[in-house]
Structures are given as structure tokens and as C-alpha cells.
Amino acid sequence: MTVASLAGAAAFWLTPSPQSAFAEFEIPEVDGEKGSIEMEYRGAQHWGFPRADEDGEIDALRQSHEVEIQYAITDYWMVRVTPNFEQPADDSIDIFTVGIETQVVLVPRKGGSFGLAFMAGYGPSDWFVDAEEPDEIEFGPVAEFANHKWLLTLNPRLVDQDGEFADQEGLGFEYAAQMQYRFAGHWSAAAMAFGEIEDLAHSGPFNVQTHALGPSLYWFSDADDEVGETKDDVRKAEWSAGLGTLFGLTSETADVTLRATLRMEY
């Protein structure tokens, strides 16, 4: 059975305000397995903040952490909860949001060449914290394309703000993408990309959006020869860890981000 996740926090949807860290740079998976539990920690350290606004304030993160816990009710339906901890510039680390999310598998990959799922999540801004931020609803597909040792994951999402602090005229847009190559039994290398446009009705030029990309290295406790192989039927805990660097492509994105993940599947 599978369980996925004990490392840097969050699910595809959590609070993407200007200081959000793209849900801690999550790369979701399509498949689930009935009764499985997944836990993942995703964390990030950020350097090179955007310039201060006219009031001298910097709306950016220094650290961000998320812990995602997922349970598969069936092979085709999973639910997740994700507390998110953030340390803004010149402030202390504290819980920022708690999000809930569901995922429905439309086309299971199960070691094949293609898989498709649909994700939806809700992020209330006032759970555990008194944040003057809008509630957010996110939704979008997760698609996987596998070919022997290669695995491409795409996760575009639309974001709708709600509540008294909502300031969107249109929907927002976020994306996560990763191309992974299993170059050895326990090891993979990957190229990642993450981005956000807060309001598609007023997207502005590219430089006022947030976009980042960079490499990552993963270690897996299971030694599959190919990314697309199916796992054994024997139930066992499986672990993975990742470390990567992201480089900001715009002035609204942190110059450099160190991303770390730790994941347990059971």
C-alpha cells in the first residue's frame, strides 16, 4: 500500500498570497491505494526578497514549512489536511494556514504511461490564526506521463478568493511541473518549475508575476529500475527524500530557494 508524505508541507492549494511559497513547491501524484496513509514534509528557505513597497514593507518569506497528511478512502478518492507554517521577513515562524483538500483519480496510472486526477482544496484564512487574508478555493488536474525511466508531472490550478479580504476580479492561476529521470535504482534527478499569477484579469507583465525553476535530486528506499514500474503487493513502508534549488525568474520571486522534502508511504 502507499503512503506519501512527511516533509515540507502543503497541498496543491494552500494560501497563495504574494508571500506564498507555491504550496511549498508540491509535486503531487495521481494514484492512491485504498486504506493507505501518506505523510510528507515540504520545507523551503528563501533568499533575495523582492524590493520593499512604498511603506517600506517586504511581503516575502524567509522560511516556509508544510506537513501534509493524506488518507485514501478508496483507490480513486483521497483526502488531505495540511498545516502551513511560515516565517515572513523580519518576523518569527508561526502557523499560517490549515488547508483541506480532496483528490479524485480519473485515470489511474498504476505503472502505466498515463494517469489523470482532479484536485480541489479549501483554505480558510481564520483557522488557528487571525489573518487578514482571503479564503481560497483551488482546483485543477494532476497529469502524469511516464516512459521507462522518465516521469513528467503537470499540475495547473485555478484559484478563487472568497471572504471580506478577497481582492480578485478574475481567477488566479498557479502551476507546478516536474520532469524526473530515474538514473539509478534508488536515485532520480529532476527539473522543476513553479509559478503564480494572482489575478488573470490583471496579470500584468511577466516580471510582476512569480515564477521559479531549478534542479532537484531524490533518493527512494525502493529500488525500481523504472519510474513507471508497479510496486510489490507486499505492504511495507517506503521512504523518499529530496533536495533542490529554485531560482527566481522575476523581481517578485525570491532569488534563490532551497527546497527539501521527506516522505513516507505506507
Indicate the SS3 state at residue 125: coil
Per-residue pLDDT, 127: 59
Per-residue pLDDT, 132: 64
Looking only at the bridges linking them, the beta strands covering 172-184 and 187-197 are antiparallel
For residue range 227-244, what is the model confidence (pLDDT) as tens digits?
545 555 556 789 999 999
HSE (CB half, 13 Å, CA atoms) of 250?
Answer: 16
Per-residue pLDDT, 13: 30
Domain residue limits, the chain: 22-265
Is 2.40.160.40 the CATH classification of the domain at 22-265? yes
Average pLDDT over the chain, rounded to an integer = 81
For residue range 3-56, what is the model confidence (pLDDT) as tens digits?
343 333 333 333 333 344 445 689 999 999 999 999 999 999 989 866 555 555
Per-residue pLDDT, 41: 95
Residue (of 212, 176, 30) closest to 103 by Cα position: 30
Q: Tell me, what amino acid is at 161? A: Q
Give percent above pLDDT 70 in the chain: 73
For residue range 161-219, what is the model confidence (pLDDT) as tens digits?
876 666 777 899 999 999 999 999 999 999 999 999 988 988 889 998 999 999 999 99
For residue range 90-104, what is the model confidence (pLDDT) as tens digits?
666 666 678 899 999
Per-residue pLDDT, 213: 96
Cα 197 to Cα 47: distance, rounded to the nearest angstrom: 21
Residue given cell 503537470 in the structure block: 154
The stretch 131-147 carries a mean pLDDT of 87
Taking the model in full, what pTM does it have? 0.82
Q: Please, which residues bridge with residue 246 across strands?
A: 257
